[in-house]
Amino acid sequence: MVSLSEQDLMPGDVVVDVDYSTVNYKDALAITGRADVIRQFPLIPGIDFAGTVEASTYPGIAVGDRVVANGWGLSQTHHGGYAQKARVKGEWLVKIPDAFSTKDAMAIGTAGYTAMLSVLALEHGGLTPQRGDVLVTGANGGVGSIAIAILSGLGYRVVASTGRLEESDYLRSLGAADIIDRRTLSEPGAPIGSERWAGAVDSVGSLTLANVLAKTRYRGVVAACGLAQGMDLPASVLPFILRNVTLAGIDSVNAPQEVRIQAWSRLARDLDLSKLARTTQVVGLAEVPAIVGRMFEGRIQGRTVVDVNA
């Protein structure tokens, strides 16, 4: 173990007093070393944080501003959010909309912002609530939970795919109209099947994404943002060339600033804060390793906010 002080923070033009970070799936991969997320040691993990600016020489970011950061090099090549202070490039920061506290911003966190990026991609592909059902896979997870809340708030009829049918009440409280067993999507299937949903937010990948594509309706749109089942995609081109299906890739890490600002302003408009609260638990830094273990066991629901000062 290595102790770090404020002097050890990396170069940047803004210093932030961090209030909250979170535990995302990528944090679990980073902390356990299951994937090569952390590229240099010692490094403070935490792929996102929210807090208040203590010092800034970056134009447009002032002392006292409430800001959120996620992605870029955080927890990869730059110290991340599991600390009371962060020094980062001002261009990595987005001002938190007035609708949200710093805790709300991290209840959303990378997962919720990725859910919003996915919804924006569906809209970009022409999806509207009138076109039919929207499927959300990995429904009990962070991305899935917030995607359900956003989509149902926008008037979509949401179908939630989950391995935890016993959590149906939770999923319905977020706005799911229908709930299906994820095993109906996770085994090898036909390259094209009956048309079931007009769109999907998929955080699972692998066979699930292949089956989702095979059952997507004509001119439907699927946003692929995750790999909870696996990073492979054993699919055929038939959904694309017979059904004109669009597969939209989602990357939250290097998304341009204007896209981030759009996503956060849409979250402020379209995410019901009472539903967000339902998805969220708050823990201290010391509890993060236990949360990570439960995440890999598939026992974490929704979002875990980390109070770095607890």
Give me the residues that bind ligand NDP (CB under 6 A), please: 24-26, 110-111, 114, 138-144, 162-164, 182, 186, 203-204, 208, 225-229, 250-253, 295, 298, 300
Minimal distance, residue 254 CB to ligand NDP, in Å: 9
Minimal distance, residue 63 CB to ligand NDP, in Å: 30
Nearest to 151, CA basis, from 220, 209, 99, 201: 201
Q: Which is nearer to ligand NDP, 102 or 137 (CB)?
A: 137
Q: Which is nearer to ligand NDP, 53 or 73 (CB)?
A: 73
The residue type found at 10 is M
Cα separation of 24 and 43, whole Å? 17
Helix (H, G, I), strand (E, B) or coil at 291: helix
Q: Which is nearer to ligand NDP, 53 or 158 (CB)?
A: 158
Minimal distance, residue 4 CB to ligand NDP, in Å: 26
> Which residues, in sequence order, are CB contacts of 225 under 8 Å at separation 6+?
114, 115, 117, 118, 143, 201, 202, 203, 250, 252
Minimal distance, residue 224 CB to ligand NDP, in Å: 8
Are the beta carbons of 306 and 82 closer than 8 angstroms? yes
Cα separation of 234 and 22, whole Å? 32
Q: Which is nearer to ligand NDP, 216 or 252 (CB)?
A: 252
Minimal distance, residue 298 CB to ligand NDP, in Å: 5
The number of angstroms, rounded, from the C-alpha of 238 to the middle of its chain's C-alpha atoms is 29
Minimal distance, residue 165 CB to ligand NDP, in Å: 9
Cα separation of 270 and 267, whole Å? 5
Cα separation of 56 and 58, whole Å? 5
Q: Which is nearer to ligand NDP, 103 or 164 (CB)?
A: 164
Q: Which is nearer to ligand NDP, 61 or 212 (CB)?
A: 212
Q: Which residue is nearest to ligand NDP (CB)?
A: 141
Pairing label, strands 48-56, 14-23: antiparallel
